[in-house]
Structure 1
Amino acid sequence: MRDLDIIVVHSLPGRVRLRLIRAPRSINNMLLQISKHDGILLVSFNPISKSLLVHYNPSVVSATEIIVRAAMALSVDYKNSSVKITNRALDKALKPIDYISGLALGIAGLARVAKFGLSSIKYLSYGAGTSTVLAVIYHAWLEVKKDGIYDPEVISVVYLINSLIKGNFLTASMVTWIATFGRHLFEPIKETCVLDAYEIVGEDEQPYIDVSIRPVVNRRFISNPLRIAVFGLGRFIGINPRKYQTGFMEQIRQMSRKHGNILEGIGNKPSPVYMRLD
């Protein structure tokens, strides 16, 4: 079965929206299977946009489990066909202050190339450095306000402030801007995995579901030299997002371990769901 995909459009505490490339054969049955889980408040499906919206209690059930269960239900609905789950990256759009700091950097760089007066270059470089610091701090404030933790990119402020103290305004500001905001200029990275669900009857003649989830390597990221260069600059100044952010497959592993690698059955099946993660 082709195009049996689920795309995580957005996931916020208490709400997750999924887009299905192919609508389920039995929409009501799929909605019922998802809504039966504890903590699910509301489940709706738009047949026109093929959008599945789930409101839930995050203290009872996680968005990751909802996504996995939706993929399981879709797989079973299509006679155990493979379902590809794509989780959009957390890359966020640039804010006005980011563009302002980038513009300030461009002007300061042109001033140096055009050999403006030393005083003009100094003040323009100082303004570029200050605006870059403010842009990074603003992003950190937004993250703390939204999720209670700062974005790892705020670590770049340490490098930048240290460089500004040493008088290296323009170069340090450019490196920090590119390393911090450069990745937002690319197409967001998408994490993808494939789920297979098998309905099996055990030796005790009781049915159960065996679920296998395996990651798909993002070769577009590996083959993009500009993205690799931006990532390398980030590592150079101390930004290591993987140290602070949990990937989608790791979220699934954590969810599986929390349940002892076994989930309760879906729909009206009392049998458990056994999970195997690659």
Structure 2
Amino acid sequence: MIPVDISIVHELPGRLRLRLFRPPTDAPAFTEAVRQHDGIESVVFQPRTRSLLIHYQPTEVSDVEIVVRVGVRLSLDYQQSFVRISRPDSTHPPGLMAYSAAGSIVMAALTNAVKTSPFHKALVNGAGGLTALAVVDHAWQEWQENQEYHPEVFSLIYLLGSLMSGHPLRASAITWLVTFGRHLVEHSGNACLLRADPGSQGTDNHYLDVVIRRDPSKPANPLNVLISALSASIGMQSRSQQNDLLESISQMASRHHHLLESLESHSGRIYLRLDH
């Protein structure tokens, strides 16, 4: 079966927006089933944009549990189909300033290799300055969008230290890759597949068996490995390491002992089985 896709558009404390690439078969029943859980205040589905806006109490229910519940209900809506859940790293891909900085780094590296340009020192310093400005600009855009910035922007401290010590070119390249590299590829851990199967244990004890596993169509990318290694080399942890969707679901499942309260239309429990 072709998976039914859910994309996490944004996550703020108390507010979650999801995009459903295939709409619920019965939107009112779908939203009511999701809303029934304690801590969920409202669930609104917009048919035109196929977005689901959920307001909730973070002290009572987590955003990850809500995402799983939405996935379970959507899987049931489509006859136990696989639901692909993805969490894009950012809504702000590298912009003009970021690519300008990348171009200046390449030019400075070329002149450094041939040692012929009289403007080599200016190009190297310019690459460092443009990279610093690109990181600041990117952090500001992310703050305006989500009231948070990714921890990779702290690589700016490493870059500034290298500029002051007179070794900016290598630091500029590392800072650019650590900050913007995550936008060039999708992190394999930020996509997973979920399928819900109804079952029964006796006549009155119904349950849902939910299997969640890593999306096999998103294998580990060598660039992610490189970015993680570069982050570690300057004493940082990349956002992709901190923001792994499947790991977040695994932690949530462990807190609940792999058992969740069932949806409104099903008695019994939801059993979570994670296949890493």
> Please, what TM-score do these two structures have when normalized by structure 1?
0.78
Query: Partner of 2:247: helix, strand, or coil?
Result: helix
1:85 Cα deviation (Å)? 1.9
1:45 Cα deviation (Å)? 1.8
Question: Does residue 275 of the first structure (1) align with residue 276 of the second (2)?
Answer: no
Deviations 1:13-63 (A, max 9, x none): 333222323322222211110111222232122334332222223333222
Question: 1:128 and 1:2, CA in 2 relative to 1: closer, same or farther beyond 3 A?
Answer: closer
Question: 1:148 and 1:177, CA in 2 relative to 1: closer, same or farther beyond 3 A?
Answer: closer
Return the alpha-carbon distance in structure 2 between the equivalents of residues 50 and 163 of structure 1: 47
Return the alpha-carbon distance in structure 1 between the equivalents of residues 152 and 179 of structure 2: 9
- 2:49 maps to 49
- 2:196 maps to 197
- 1:209 maps to 208
- 2:12 maps to 12
- 1:166 maps to 165
Deviations 1:242-264 (A, max 9, x none): 68613101111222222232111
Deviations 1:186-224 (A, max 9, x none): 2443622222222222237322222221222454543xx
Return the alpha-carbon distance in structure 2 between the equivalents of residues 114 and 230 of structure 1: 28
Deviates more, 1:129-138 or 1:20-29: 129-138
1:143 Cα deviation (Å)? 6.8
Query: Partner of 2:24: helix, strand, or coil?
Result: coil
Letter in 1 for 2:213: R
- 1:39 maps to 39
Please tell me the root mean square deviation across aligned C-alpha atoms, in Å. 3.4
- 2:67 maps to 67
1:102 Cα deviation (Å)? 4.0
Checking the alignment, whether the CA contact within 8 Å between 1:82 and 1:194 is kept in structure 2 is: yes
Larger of the two Rg values belongs to structure: 1
> Please, what TM-score do these two structures have when normalized by structure 2?
0.78
- 1:88 maps to 88
Return the alpha-carbon distance in structure 2 between the equivalents of residues 6 and 144 of structure 1: 24
Question: 1:230 and 1:151, CA in 2 relative to 1: closer, same or farther beyond 3 A?
Answer: closer
Deviates more, 1:133-142 or 1:198-207: 133-142
Letter in 2 for 1:11: E
Query: Partner of 2:163: helix, strand, or coil?
Result: helix
Identity across matched positions, percent: 36
**1:74-223 map, 5 Å:** 74-90=74-90, 92-94=92-94, 98-99=98-99, 101-102=101-102, 104-105=104-105, 108=108, 115-117=116-118, 120-136=119-135, 151-155=151-155, 157-158=157-158, 160-184=159-183, 186-189=184-187, 191-203=190-202, 205-217=204-216, 219=218, 221-222=220-221
Query: Partner of 2:64: helix, strand, or coil?
Result: helix
1:89 Cα deviation (Å)? 2.6
Letter in 2 for 1:263: L
Letter in 1 for 2:204: E
1:67 Cα deviation (Å)? 1.1
Checking the alignment, whether the CA contact within 8 Å between 1:195 and 1:214 is kept in structure 2 is: yes
Q: Which runs of 5+ in 1 are unaligned?
A: none
Question: 1:240 and 1:47, CA in 2 relative to 1: closer, same or farther beyond 3 A?
Answer: same
